[in-house]
Amino acid sequence: MQVVEAHGFKIPIVGLGTWAVRHPARIVEQAIRVGYRHIDTAQMYGNEAEVGEGVRNSGKRAEVVVTTKVQPTLLAPHDLERSVKESLARLRLDVIDLLLIHWPNPRVPLAETLGAMSKMKREGYTRAIGVSNFTVALLDEANKVSPEPVVCNQIECHPFLNQDKVIAACKRHGMAVVAYSPIARGGATGNRILEHIGVAHAKSAAQVGLRYLVQQGIVVIPRTSRIERLEENFALFDFELSEAEMQDIYKLAHPSGRIVDWTWSPKWD
Ligand X SMILES: NC(=O)c1ccc[n+]([C@@H]2O[C@H](COP(=O)([O-])OP(=O)(O)OC[C@H]3O[C@@H](n4cnc5c(N)ncnc54)[C@H](OP(=O)(O)O)[C@@H]3O)[C@@H](O)[C@H]2O)c1
Q: Which of 29, 40, 81, 97 binds ligand X (CB under 6 A)?
A: 40
Tallying the residues shown for the chain, one arrives at 269
Q: Which stretch binds ligand X (CB under 6 A): 3-11, 14-22, 72-80, 236-244?
A: 14-22
Active site residue 125: no
Closest approach, Cβ 44 to ligand X, in A, equals 8
Q: Please answer whether residues 46 and 24 qualify as being in contact, where contact means their C-beta atoms are separated by less than 8 angstroms.
A: no
CA distance 119 to 99: 12
Q: Which stretch binds ligand X (CB under 6 A): 70-78, 87-95, 140-148, 177-185?
A: 177-185
CA distances in angstroms from 231 to 7, 224, 265, listed in the order given: 30, 10, 35
Q: Which is nearer to ligand X, 124 or 191 (CB)?
A: 191
What three-state secondary structure class fits 62? helix
Q: Which of 186, 199, 242, 247 binds ligand X (CB under 6 A)?
A: 186
Residue facing ligand X at closest CB distance: 17
232 binds ligand X (CB under 6 A): yes
24 binds ligand X (CB under 6 A): no
Q: Which of 65, 169, 233, 245 binds ligand X (CB under 6 A)?
A: 233
- C-beta atoms surrounding 232 within 10 Å: 17
What are the residue numbers of the active site? Answer: 45
